Structure 1
Amino acid sequence: MDWIIRGGSVVLQDEVRLMDIGIKSGVVAQLGENLNCEAESEIDAAGSVVMPGMVDVHVHLNEPGLSDWEGFATGSAALAAGGCTTYIDMPLNGIPPTVTVAAMKQKLEAAKGRSYVDYALWGGLVPGHLDDLERLNDAGVIGFKAFMSSPGDPGEEAFREVDDLTLWEGMKRIASMKRVLALHAESEPLVARLSQAKQAAGAVSAKDYSASRPIMAELEAVARALFYAEQTGCPLHFVHISSAEAVRLIAQAKRRGVDVTLETCPHYVALTEDDLERLGPVAKCAPPLRSGEEQERLWQALRDGHIDMISSDHSPCPGELKRSGNFFEAWGGISGAQSSLELMIGEGHLKRGIPLPDLARMLSYAPARRFGLHPYKGEIRIGADADLAMVGLRSSYELQADQLHYRHKHSPYVGRTFACKVLATWCRGHLVYEEASGLSSAMPGVWLSGSVT
């Protein structure tokens, strides 16, 4: 073996077992108790949990074009330190966004040799680029992303929300490719009018911002998109769902036979609108954080198995864009990729008793399977990539800004006490992060082309 990870509590599909993991040539080669074989390297995992590495399907690393924002090197470093071994990068906010093959090639060039863990790319569905969808598919995107509300960047080259005709036509084309369309589902007519009214009245506080993006805006967009999906046969994936009622609508559609999945994010189950008021724009996102009561309903939906996966929606920016007394002007996006796995284990397993295999399904298996990365990614089994995260369940700590690997070291979780900690991360058998020694000197992450998944 190249590696043996000995004596950890290994999280499998349906159980947690004390066992050893033997790694050879980047894959899990042996599983069992007290493996009787030699290895070039061994690590003692006794007292720790070994999870499948997180598959984070919703990450914004902002390359190419935004050289002073988060990039592949720093973003993937944070992901590795957080136990994530595969991510799918969104087509925005890079300039140009990934809506053409030429832009995709620029992004791939920016990522080459600069990622600690493996990655795939989303393509974008935007007005004026319907004919680029098939070209992007052939070039290897994993799926497509569209916004039903404004992404917020007024720049001429920036990503644009879809109008209904573009959404309809795009869904038909994406269905023919047998790809998935990921949707930011908020109603632009509702959000735009409410936002304009608040700002015209000088109402620009955290509460005003939250009130301008009510749950109703999410529900209207989800219902409209589901109707289009039923008419076109397009597989859908709803990103960052923030309300239990939206989860219910999507669950009903599943029962009708619609091919649809959804994600929520750690910030919706770990933070509330009260935290937004307390922390300020560092906790601003869209949809906004909800009430404590809504958060508990979301946890119940998660326990009931209605939430397919957990993704970070890591959406970083330079710190100065978060410093504004006007919540409508501050950048909307949470830096959270490094904390996702720890938050979900701490809040979900240690605090609420959700079994680790259930969390591993949402964090790893379901996203890998939905987007064509399984059977190589997403679970610990013989023959799968050795993508692993070793977690200390009793290693509580208070997160400090200087522990963050982001380029801009702000996060709503700074100062928060975490109940557990990622101790080591392997990507295809490469030890890319260890608590004691930090990040590896190599960046072994590779592009996972959607054309061959």
Structure 2
Amino acid sequence: MTADLVVRSRRAVLPDGERPAAVYVHSGRIVAVEEYASRRGADSDVDLADVALLPGLVDTHVHVDEPGRTEWEGFATATAAAAAGGVTTLVDMPLNSIPPTVDVPALRTKRAAADGACRVDVGFWGGAVPGNLPELARLHEAGVFGFKCFLSPSGVAEFGHLSPAELEAVAAETARLGALLIVHAEDPAELREPAPGRRYAGFLDSRPPAAEYRAVARLADLAERTGARIHVLHVSSAGVAPLIAGSPLTAETCPHYLTLAAETIPDGLTAAKCCPPVRDAANRERLWHHLAAGTVGCVVSDHSPATADLKESGDFATAWGGVSSLQLGLPLTWTGARRRGYPLAHVVRWMASGPAALVGLRTKGSLAVGCDADLVAFAPDETFTVDVARLRHRHPVSPYAGWTLTGVVRRTWLRGVAVTDEGAAAGRLLAGQGSAR
């Protein structure tokens, strides 16, 4: 069989590690992985030489916001940013869009908005909110990848947080369905209203590590008692890692928690505001340790954009909480990993194969025979300076403006076809394992 494409690299990151290889593609799938110099026939032969070849990243935590708040972000802009950052699959969060994805009609509305607009593959989370327990089974069958809930206010009125009794009922139902429950884990009893002003410390004090610790302890007990699959979202406090390590829980963190530090966030830089908050540098180093140890299994963006007037107010009490980093996640994480001596294969595990395994995408996140030919040419030694005007998400807002990062995405392929601005938006809408579609 003649392949459609072969991509060669002396630094291919394969499931068994980094080595020279040639990856052969036919009809959108990887059909062979051979030695770098192999000469099986292919219609197109791309030699990356020392530019690394990675599997497309899988980002399971993205707020696209369309429909309803498309002025914040939309599928066309978000997926263009994803492709530019080496992300070939994303899973969209159920809130910030209107309507939120808390029933099947809302899921249909979301899919209609995304259909034909996506440059990468897109799946959808469902929401678990007060009053929608009967909808979870129907959403599961309709193809969501699992259910997100909050233990504290979400920041938008249309997506309420669960009481302890409601959380218990949702966990029992997701256990019955075999569905994944993903949780924003902050205990509301530990949260305070932030002091108005430009000082980051005032905001940080309003969301202490104890809020995460108490919430994760509750989730660990709940997972043990109910058998529910529970995943802790965006871990910011390294202090919760022992709770996760001793429980059935899984967990993720984000590039902003691995790169920013509370003591270096300038006054008024509300582009760095997020919930839970960025903590101090010592905590950041402990997060890297727990990531390397596998206690925290994934690095995802939690790309949560808003318009510049909401995000850049300069007042940490009133600015929208969310960091836009979908396009920059790979170089941010690689810059930090490289500095600490972690290899590129670790980054691929954290950002590609790990998230893919979490949500059951067996053909994503790996350069292996039978997987989708989602590929990334990544120059791991090349540096660049972050210019917000060149970012592809809707608003040029970033706490990383002016930063020098290592690692440049040279090209992204989706199922063996290069993603370009001129080409068709060929991303597919994906369904989870419970789908009857």
What are the superposed Cα offsets for residues 180-210 of structure 1, whole Å, 9 maximum, x if unpaired? 100000011221xx21xx54xx566311100
Q: Classify the secondary structure of the residue corresponding to 1:227.
A: helix
Q: Distance in 1 between matches of 2:406 and 2:198?
A: 35
What are the superposed Cα offsets for residues 309-356 of structure 1, whole Å, 9 maximum, x if unpaired? 1110000011110232431110000000101111111211x2112122
Corresponding letter in the other structure for 1:171: A
1:72 counterpart residue number: 75
Q: Distance in 2 between matches of 1:13 and 1:29?
A: 15
1:424 counterpart residue number: 411
Q: Distance in 1 between matches of 2:316 and 2:96?
A: 20
Corresponding letter in the other structure for 1:116: R
Decide whether the 8 Å contact of 1:139 with 1:451 is kept in 2: no
Query: Is 1:280 the equivalent of 2:269?
Result: yes
2:232 alignment partner, one of 238, 251, 272: 238
1:436 counterpart residue number: none
Q: Distance in 1 between matches of 2:331 and 2:348?
A: 12
Matches within 5 A, 1:103-114: 103-114=106-117
What are the superposed Cα offsets for residues 139-165 of structure 1, whole Å, 9 maximum, x if unpaired? 1101000011111124xxx21111111
Cα distance change, pair 279–164 in 1 and its aligned pair in 2 (3 A): same
Structure 1: gaps (5+ residues): 434-438
2:327 counterpart residue number: 338
Query: Is 1:360 the equivalent of 2:363?
Result: no
Cα distance change, pair 336–415 in 1 and its aligned pair in 2 (3 A): same
Q: Classify the secondary structure of the residue corresponding to 1:11.
A: strand
Query: Is 1:263 the equivalent of 2:252?
Result: yes
What is the deviation of 1:43? Answer: 2.0
Identity of aligned residues (%): 40
1:398 alignment partner, one of 385, 391, 395: 385
2:302 counterpart residue number: 313
1:449 alignment partner, one of 425, 431, 435: 431
Decide whether the 8 Å contact of 1:27 with 1:428 is kept in 2: yes
What is the deviation of 1:393? Answer: 1.3
What is the deviation of 1:278? Answer: 4.9
Q: Distance in 1 between matches of 2:58 and 2:251?
A: 14
1:379 counterpart residue number: 366
Q: Distance in 1 between matches of 2:103 and 2:56?
A: 31
1:159 counterpart residue number: 159
Corresponding letter in the other structure for 1:303: A
Q: Distance in 1 between matches of 2:71 and 2:5?
A: 38
Corresponding letter in the other structure for 1:142: F
Corresponding letter in the other structure for 1:266: P
What is the deviation of 1:300? Answer: 1.3
Q: Distance in 1 between matches of 2:422 and 2:21?
A: 26
Cα distance change, pair 369–400 in 1 and its aligned pair in 2 (3 A): same
Query: Is 1:169 the equivalent of 2:158?
Result: no
Decide whether the 8 Å contact of 2:268 with 2:315 is kept in 1: no
Matches within 5 A, 1:24-103: 24-33=26-35, 34-103=37-106
Query: Is 1:2 the equivalent of 2:9?
Result: no
Q: Distance in 2 between matches of 1:42 and 1:13?
A: 22
1:217 alignment partner, one of 198, 211, 218: 211
Q: Distance in 2 between matches of 1:70 and 1:275?
A: 28
What is the deviation of 1:440? Answer: 4.5
Q: Classify the secondary structure of the residue corresponding to 1:395.
A: strand
Matches within 5 A, 1:108-123: 108-123=111-126
Q: Classify the secondary structure of the residue corresponding to 2:42.
A: coil
Q: Distance in 1 between matches of 2:155 and 2:294?
A: 33
Q: Distance in 1 between matches of 2:80 and 2:312?
A: 25
Decide whether the 8 Å contact of 2:200 with 2:267 is kept in 1: no
What is the deviation of 1:364? Answer: 1.1
Decide whether the 8 Å contact of 2:5 with 2:25 is kept in 1: yes
Q: Distance in 2 between matches of 1:44 and 1:13?
A: 20
What is the deviation of 1:452? Answer: 5.9
1:302 counterpart residue number: 291
Decide whether the 8 Å contact of 1:77 with 1:405 is kept in 2: yes
How many equivalent residue pairs?
Answer: 432
Q: Classify the secondary structure of the residue corresponding to 2:402.
A: coil
Decide whether the 8 Å contact of 2:268 with 2:316 is kept in 1: no
Q: Classify the secondary structure of the residue corresponding to 1:186.
A: coil
2:336 counterpart residue number: 347
Corresponding letter in the other structure for 1:11: V
Q: Distance in 2 between matches of 1:321 and 1:78?
A: 21
Corresponding letter in the other structure for 2:176: S
Decide whether the 8 Å contact of 1:53 with 1:86 is kept in 2: yes
1:229 alignment partner, one of 202, 223, 233: 223
Q: Distance in 2 between matches of 1:405 and 1:326?
A: 26
Q: Distance in 2 between matches of 1:336 and 1:345?
A: 14
Corresponding letter in the other structure for 2:408: K
Decide whether the 8 Å contact of 1:63 with 1:95 is kept in 2: yes
Corresponding letter in the other structure for 2:172: K
Corresponding letter in the other structure for 1:3: L
